[in-house]
Amino acid sequence: MVSQTDSIVALSSGRLPAGIAVIRISGPQTRFVVETIAGAVKDRFTTLRRLAAPGGDVIDHGLVLFFPGPGSFTGEDVAEFHVHGSRAVAAKMLETITGFDGVRHAEPGEFTRRAFLNGRLDLVETEALADLVNAETEAQRRFAVRNAEGAQSELYSGWRRRLIHARAMIEAEIDFADEEDVPGSVSEAVWSDVAAMIGEIEHHIEGFKAAEIIRDGFEVVILGAPNAGKSSLFNALARREAAIVTDEPGTTRDLLEVVLDLKGLKVRIIDTAGLRETAGKVETIGIERARTKARGADLVLLLEDMVSPLPIGDVPAGVPLLKIGTKADLSQGRPGYDLSISSKDGTGMESLLSEIGRRASAAAGDAGDVLPSRLRHVELLRKTAGFLNGALAGESQELRAEELRLAADRLGRIVGSVDVEDLLDVIFSQFCIGK
């Protein structure tokens, strides 16, 4: 286990060489390291300095920033050296900094972990920061920024505050029923709010599918008989020869995937083996994989050759489906298709992409909505709702109050802030007990 009393340092700006390399240090030795290498600097100001090792060797000339704790990202003293982005300069800076006593290379994610341990971020904000770093599309960026700014945390903390207040009212009624300051009956209001909260939580949980689509992508699976034009469409969407296209049936044996950015949303297009009844052993495995993948898809594109249509057997039920007629350049068109396309001359491709984008946007909803962004959130929220239902159905006030405690505890686990003492604060601030 790594020590939290050490100062840590790391290259924070990514792959080298680059125009600039940013080297970040955090911990109790930070100010000493900065003043030794760069001389005195003004807090929170960017300063151009000659950077030299303790022996006097000049390493580079660069910018230095110093952020005193606790008003920094990690809550500790933090500094950044902005130097020229060569491998040699960055390596020499890291070698020099780790040469100081009590300074070591940071573990993966350790700056963010210290921010959490020092109360600068909660768990949900930490997860959102990871999402922001990994964001590939505009929808992912907006979703991550909203959560990183605390929207999701505030929702869960707000529910938890309501439960703490509800439990305080119930416990006050149990323990201090003879006191004049305590209302004669708070149960009706408390349990009405608990019932409303169950509905709010369940509605929030329903948004997890939309959050998955924003974070992981809207999955589109291409199905069809051999030579229906699946791989040709896949290559046209990928804008490269990602799949082998021949006249020989059964060329595609495994799943192929390409990622598109449509209307700011991540869309994953998956090419599959051609569906037919008679196939070899390896091709049969590919066909089964295709059917399995289609059953979990957000949208299936069912392709059929309008020139020589072939049967494909059963299509997975319950999955949104677009029936696409292919090879429109060789056919006069036939009824019964949602769209007709030609991967060869581009006929219908714009309409197809527009429809996929429309469906992806509808499935993802508003990226500004507060949604559960992790499965662990959903699992804890379901447990919370379960305890609240138990509280509503309970027979004694004592047991019902315990169910409320367990529900609040699960909400606290989402954001990483479980404090048993705050219940007492609510009781005494509300009722002036013991006057």
Task: For domain 7-117, give the fold.
Answer: Gyrase A; domain 2 (3.30.1360)
> What pLDDT sits at residue 345?
87
- Contacts of residue 110, Cβ cutoff 8 Å, sequence gap at least 6: 2, 8, 10
pLDDT of residue 6: 92
| Sequence spans of domains, the chain | 7-117, 151-207+372-431, 221-364
Task: Indicate the CATH number for domain 151-207+372-431.
Answer: 1.20.120.430
Per the structure block, which two tokens stand in for 33?
């390291």
Digits of tens for pLDDT over the chain (435 positions)? Answer: 445 689 999 999 888 999 999 999 999 999 999 999 999 999 999 999 999 999 899 999 999 999 999 999 999 999 999 999 999 999 999 999 999 999 999 988 888 888 888 989 888 888 888 888 888 899 899 998 998 888 999 999 999 999 999 988 888 777 665 555 555 556 778 899 999 999 999 999 999 999 999 988 999 999 888 888 888 888 888 876 544 444 444 444 567 888 889 888 999 999 887 776 655 566 677 777 878 888 889 999 999 888 887 777 677 788 899 999 988 888 776 778 899 988 888 888 999 999 999 999 999 887 567 899 888 899 999 999 999 999 999 888 889 889 999 999 999 988 877 653 443 354 334 433 322
With tokens 């439960």, the residue in question is: 163
Helix (H, G, I), strand (E, B) or coil at 367: coil
DSSP 107: P
Check residue 112 and give its pLDDT: 86
Under 8 Å between Cβ of 420 and 189: no
Q: What is the DSSP string of 81-95?
A: EEEEE-HHHHHHHHH
Which CATH number, 1.10.287.130, 3.90.180.10, 3.40.640.10, 3.40.50.300, labels domain 221-364? 3.40.50.300
Q: Compute φ and ψ for 390, nearest 5 degrees.
A: -65, -35
Place of tokens 């992508």: 217
